[in-house]
Amino acid sequence: MNFDYKKRIVRDPNICGGQPVIKGTRILLRTILASLAEGDTIDQILKDFPSLTEEDIRAVIAFAAASSEEDLPIPELPDIK
């Protein structure tokens, strides 16, 4: 994934208990991800959170994709003999 989410997402222990948020806001990534999971479009999310940009939402998606790569176990190859 080439999208650099690190410029838009921060974790600060003084903001929302250190949970990841969009930089300059108190909008949790999990809130945006939950909206996407419920079927909201990017346009709907932008309407609900006018301080966000489309790039912010794409950063959330990129962050989630990168995070899932780290958490997924590598499947074992079958032992073929």
Domain count, the chain: 1
Look up the CATH number of the domain holding residue 62: 1.10.10.10
81 located within any domain: no
Q: What are the φ and ψ backbone dihedral angles of 9, each rounded to 5 degrees? A: -120, 135
Containing structural domain, residue 44: 5-71
pLDDT at site 1: 45
Q: What are the pLDDT tens digits along the chain (81 aa)?
A: 456 788 999 999 999 999 999 999 999 999 999 999 999 999 999 999 999 999 999 999 999 988 876 655 656 666 655
Task: Report if residue 80 sits inside a domain.
Answer: no
Distance (Å, rounded) from C-alpha 19 to C-alpha 2? 23
